[in-house]
Amino acid sequence: MLRKKRLRMNNRVSSSVEYHWATAHVRNRIRPHSLDFGHYPKPFKTYGALKRIPLIKGEISPGRDLMGLFRGEEPAESEQSLGFPALSRVLYRSYGVTREEKARGIRFFSRTVPSAGGLYPCQIYLMSRHMEGLETGVYYCHMIQESLDLIHRDGFSLGRDQTFDLSFVVTGIFFNSAWKYRERAFRYLLLDSGHLVENLNLALRAEGLSPRVDDDFEDDRISALLALDQDKEVPLAWVHVNGKASGPEEKCQPAPDFSGPCLKAIEDESVAVSYPLLRRIHELGKARVGTRAHDAESAGVLAFEPEDRRVSLDFEALNPPLDYERAVLSRRSKRNFFPARLDRKKAVLLLESASSLYKGQPEDSARAFPFLALGVLFQNVEGFDDGFYIVSGEGGSLRFIREGPFHEPLARVCLDQQWISRAAVNFLFMANLTGLENALGPRGYRLLLMDAGRMAQRIYLAATGLSLGCCGVGALYDEEARTLLDLNPDSALFYAVSAGPVKGSGF
């Protein structure tokens, strides 16, 4: 039965929970909608930049172990600053183009991250100072043209970020995702940006840096600095890299001058479609994270108490290790799953890759974690009964929830995408949305979906390294998913990732 709150498909939603259910897919009720390829959204912006600096395309340099990166192992040589060639590497690995195709007169790009509908609505801006070979200022990272476009000389005197020499802002353009997903697009903007933030985080770590993902900044300040039109594009995440240990004379240097906002992008008026509901949900999440006390029950997702049966996970080092750079540059979504038995070790590595995000995060970057319930459906996986499990605590064990089979019904729930039924593993990103909002306020929803995107990016990379297929799934009938998994009325499945053996990869 439809719940009342689900019917409020307008801009009057007053919470993220209402937004979520207002944008639920309901079988036979998805409004017909033809895609207007005459106005296909461009995955980049255009600036009359002050200066354009081409990125340096380096050779592939294998060597970093993917699982070591996930585990937070320090590289042999730890840097605290970055030169321009390394910055170029970071940007290519984070969001670079790996393939280009042309159809209907439109250029389509594959990138190092997946994106719902392949629309790539996220953008990256860079604020840099004291970097050798790069003038201090704010840059738009034009990842299609492969350049840094200077849009402000000097200027990122934003108070508390004074100690950062390098900062990246990830934004999302509403229309680029709404072109296909309409009001549901905010979910995809958040998941997409999570994938991108994690790629950026790993790329910086691979250079020996220690980035910090900040999701609790003042949106308006960042929007004003970057001269964003908030009806169209909004900041979603901010990634800082601590300044190199500066000498006393550097510490005394005056902060760069900050006079006025960045250049404005050259607008493409043909894309001025407005989605009040997207504006509204972003507006609600602008309030900084509130942290009210919560108990474990408010984070619970199940409508029943499963028996207490646990399977401990034996994370071990892999030999030979998985190569990070090859994984990130060859990542694609693969859906041609076939029913071969999945080796236990590979299944455990996939689980470790996802749950490794729980570990070693500073507390203020992990506020949504208690609410992110990571489920997994196994089918034909060595050493595990088929069925539904939930990863417990920090990821060291699985709680068995129910026996399978779940794959066929999940495929039906995911808008009848049949290939999902053939994947060995289906990861389930679930949360008690009411408990989350009560504890963190509406911005908690942003944190939650971005964390899920970050974990999912780790799964994609590990699957690629293990020669397995992997594909994100955002299209689902929300209420049917809740019923299938027997979730309580406050909880939802909001993303899934399928992984497993695919045809043509040696199984």
Q: Which residues bind ligand FMN (CB under 6 A)?
A: 110, 114-118, 188, 191-192, 195, 332-333, 335, 417, 471-475
Give the residue with the Cβ less far from ligand FMN, 90 or 471. Answer: 471
Sheet arrangement for strand 372-378: 310-312, 397-403, 387-392, 372-378, 425-432, 491-500, 469-473
Among 431, 419, 429, smallest CA distance to 499 is for 419
Q: How far is the CB of 119 from ligand FMN (least distance, A)?
A: 8
Give the residue with the Cβ less far from ligand FMN, 435 or 469. Answer: 469
Q: How far is the CB of 388 from ligand FMN (least distance, A)?
A: 20
List C-alpha distances in Å: 87 to 111, 215, 492: 17, 22, 39
Q: How far is the CB of 418 from ligand FMN (least distance, A)?
A: 11
Locus of tokens 């009057």: 12
Q: How far is the CB of 308 from ligand FMN (least distance, A)?
A: 33
d(CA 1, CA 367): 33
Give the residue with the Cβ less far from ligand FMN, 115 or 432. Answer: 115
Q: How far is the CB of 369 from ligand FMN (least distance, A)?
A: 19
Q: How far is the CB of 118 from ligand FMN (least distance, A)?
A: 3
**Contact partners, residue 59, CB within 8 Å, separation at least 6:** none
Give the residue with the Cβ less far from ligand FMN, 155 or 474. Answer: 474
Q: Round to the nearest angstrom and report the end-to-end CA distance of the chain.
A: 43
List C-alpha distances in Å: 237 to 28, 45, 181, 332, 353: 36, 18, 21, 24, 22
Cα maximum dimension of the chain: 67
Give the residue with the Cβ less far from ligand FMN, 124 or 226. Answer: 124
Instruction: Report residue 148 as tokens.
Output: 């840094």
Taking CB atoms, the residue at the shortest distance from ligand FMN is 114
Among 116, 93, 120, 172, smallest CA distance to 331 is for 93
Q: How far is the CB of 421 from ligand FMN (least distance, A)?
A: 13
Please tell me the total number of residues recorded for the chain in this structure: 507
Helix axes 185-206, 276-284, angle to 10 degrees: 50
Sheet arrangement for strand 147-153: 51-54, 147-153, 137-142, 122-128, 164-173, 233-242, 211-214
Q: Write the single-letter amino acid at 440.
A: L
Task: Tell me if residue 110 falls in helix, strand or coil.
Answer: strand
Q: How far is the CB of 189 from ligand FMN (least distance, A)?
A: 9
Give the residue with the Cβ less far from ligand FMN, 241 or 447. Answer: 447
Tell me the DSSP string of 141-199: EETTTTEEEEEEES----STTTTEEEEEEEEEEHHHHHHHHGGGHHHHHHHHHHHHHHH
d(CA 13, CA 283): 11
Give the residue with the Cβ less far from ligand FMN, 117 or 442. Answer: 117
Give the residue with the Cβ less far from ligand FMN, 86 or 456. Answer: 456
Q: How far is the CB of 173 from ligand FMN (least distance, A)?
A: 15
**Contact partners, residue 185, CB within 8 Å, separation at least 6:** 121, 174, 177, 178, 275, 278
Give the residue with the Cβ less far from ligand FMN, 115 or 356. Answer: 115
Q: How far is the CB of 463 from ligand FMN (least distance, A)?
A: 12
Give the residue with the Cβ less far from ligand FMN, 113 or 302. Answer: 113
d(CA 94, CA 85): 14
Q: How far is the CB of 435 from ligand FMN (least distance, A)?
A: 23
**Contact partners, residue 1, CB within 8 Å, separation at least 6:** none
d(CA 447, CA 40): 29
User: Cβ(432)–Cβ(505) under 8 Å?
Assistant: no
Give the residue with the Cβ less far from ligand FMN, 209 or 448. Answer: 448
Instruction: Report residue 247 as tokens.
Output: 């000498």
Q: How far is the CB of 117 from ligand FMN (least distance, A)?
A: 6
Q: How far is the CB of 453 from ligand FMN (least distance, A)?
A: 7
CA atoms within 13 A on the CB side of 283: 13
Give the residue with the Cβ less far from ligand FMN, 4 or 33. Answer: 33
Give the residue with the Cβ less far from ligand FMN, 162 or 418. Answer: 418
